[in-house]
Amino acid sequence: MVLTNYLSLGVLLLLPFLSAVVISFLPAQNSALIRRFAISASTLVLAYACLFFLEFDTSVSGLQFVENHVWNSAQGSSLRFGIDGIAFPMLILAALLVWVTILASTQIKKQVKSYYLFILLLEAAMLGVFSAQDWSLFYIFWEATLIPLFFLIERWGGARRQLAAMNFVLYTMGGSVFMLIGLLVAFDSAGLHSFAFNDIRQGLQTLGEDKQILIFLGLLIGFGVKMPIFPLHGWLPLAHVEAPAPVSILLSGILLKMGAYGLIRAAEMLPLAALALQSLLFALALIGLIYGSILAWRQTELKKMIAYSSISHMGMVLLGIAGLNSISMNGALVQMFAHGLVAAALFMLVGLLYARTGNRYLYDYGGLIHSAPRFALFLGLALMAGLGMPGTVNFVAELHVLLASWQTWSVWVAVIALGIMVNSIYHLRAMRYMLTGPKKTGAKPFADLNRVEFLAAAVLMGLVLFLGVYPAPLLELVSTAVADFSALMQP
């Protein structure tokens, strides 16, 4: 079709970037205009990203929409874009969640201009991470997400925002150092004088297991900080809690997925190392799953609870990746998508509640079904999805991961089940206290979701339910890439 000529990943990245440039020229006092422009810009990006569906061929293995421009031949770096079945869902998720974020940003009242500027810059960087096919380019986009996020947390965050922003940047930079060293060693060992994903993967095929493991460990630390993997998650609770609610949507919806996505790419590049370290990955995933869920259960502060539940859910993703076969990878990718939707919905709703009541404590809410039925509906649905209720896409993901884990690890599945159980405890508790029971005395009445917020929540939960009942489109989207991935992992 002629459409192919107009679909370009480069243009997709430029759209939010140029919109940010335009915003910088808009008058700062006219915040309504800026907001309207940001909404239309993100809608445009989302629509453009969705156009790729029309031309994306799920049966073709390898990259599609490839664009390649030599950047610096002396360094072997190139501006190389392309997407496959693993990157494409993440790209869509990023565009969707930025749209939701901007819709849900009604509470941002000060310095509106720079706020939307940073959000759009962040979108450009995130889309870059998922579409880059060259490790040097990937690294640049990876680091580029830090700058807008630092300012977003530091300027619009809560009381301890400085501490949170600094922790976030220091942790990520610390991880990035290891990642950079790993990448440089990989570049050197591959010997093809190119940073392109495919070239490095080809060059490393003959590399011995020991050296592969060393490179992989470097990358694991880098991606593990973002994902997060157990001892490297120190930045996460603080950053999620202190960030303004719309930014928390992006943090947990997409930033965490960047870590998982990078890890999948690393495993693709170093299959021998991935196979050798399979047990380590599994152990880390189990620890993360249990650790996150127990801490989430301990929290009475809603945002903190969701933040820790993210650690637990990302443990489920790592569990899927650690399986290294097609069923578990299906589970991991579906879980990434599912968690993106659900975490975004939860952070958005809790953020909106906080903006209205100034209270984020679980036990101070009650009887939302009566006082704010629309809040209650979506909060209930999102919590149900969070605990993996059948009929939601999270169930599809968890089922895949559990089935695959049973094949590889047999009885250890009992520990996974334990984690899932603790997860359901605090989700159900939140539901029971917030939605049902008598209205709390002293809680001032507040407005229910307005039309724009309702639209954002309905889109998120609609997708969760639709893909929960009919997951075939999502599974088909990732199928070829997953098959290629699992073929690499045959020892």
Chain position carrying tokens 């450009």: 124
- Selected from 62, 191, 231, 390, the binder of other proteins by CB under 8 A is 231
Residues 237-256 that bind other proteins (CB under 8 A): 237-238
- Selected from 433, 449, 456, 485, the binder of other proteins by CB under 8 A is 433
- For residue 254, the minimal CB distance to other proteins (Å) is 23
- H/E element, 376: helix 373-386
Q: What is the DSSP string of 91-160?
A: HHHHHHHHHHHHHTGGG--SSHHHHHHHHHHHHHHHHHHHHB-BHHHHHHHHHHTHHHHHHHHHHH--TT
Between 237 and 380, CB nearer to other proteins = 237
On the question of a cis peptide bond just before residue 228, with omega within 30 degrees of 0, the verdict is yes
Question: Mask of contacts with other proteins, 350-379, x by CB under 8 A?
Answer: -----------x-xx-x-------------
Between 19 and 394, CB nearer to other proteins = 394
- Tell me the two tokens of residue 248: 């928390």
Are 302 and 430 in contact, with CB atoms under 8 Å apart?
yes
Cβ partners under 8 Å of residue 229, min gap 6: 220, 284, 288, 318
Between 71 and 150, CB nearer to other proteins = 150
Between 121 and 164, CB nearer to other proteins = 164
**Is 18 a residue that touches other proteins (CB under 8 A)?**
no
Residues 268-307 that bind other proteins (CB under 8 A): 291, 294-295, 297-298, 300
Q: Which amino acid is at 267?
A: A
Question: Mask of contacts with other proteins, 157-176, x by CB under 8 A?
Answer: ------x--xx--xx-----
**Is 6 a residue that touches other proteins (CB under 8 A)?**
no
- For residue 207, the minimal CB distance to other proteins (Å) is 32
- Tell me the two tokens of residue 183: 């990448």
Are 145 and 257 in contact, with CB atoms under 8 Å apart?
no
Of 29, 28, 32, give the one whose Cα is nearest residue 40: 32
Q: Rounded CA gap, 166 and 161, in Å?
A: 8
- For residue 308, the minimal CB distance to other proteins (Å) is 9
For the chain, the C-alpha Rg in angstroms (whole number) is: 21
- For residue 433, the minimal CB distance to other proteins (Å) is 7
Residues 317-346 that bind other proteins (CB under 8 A): 326-327, 330
**Is 428 a residue that touches other proteins (CB under 8 A)?**
no
Q: Rounded CA gap, 75 and 475, in Å?
A: 38
Between 10 and 367, CB nearer to other proteins = 367
Q: What is the DSSP string of 443-460?
A: PPP-----HHHHHHHHHH
Are 216 and 266 in contact, with CB atoms under 8 Å apart?
yes
Q: Is 227 helix (H, G, I), strand (E, B) or coil?
A: coil
Between 358 and 438, CB nearer to other proteins = 438
Residues in the interface with other proteins (CB under 8 A) total 37
- For residue 456, the minimal CB distance to other proteins (Å) is 23
Residues 387-426 that bind other proteins (CB under 8 A): 400, 422
- For residue 40, the minimal CB distance to other proteins (Å) is 32
Rule CB under 8 A: which residues touch other proteins?
A: 163, 166-167, 170-171, 231, 233-235, 237-238, 291, 294-295, 297-298, 300, 326-327, 330, 361, 363-364, 366, 400, 422, 432-433, 436-438, 440, 470-472, 475-476
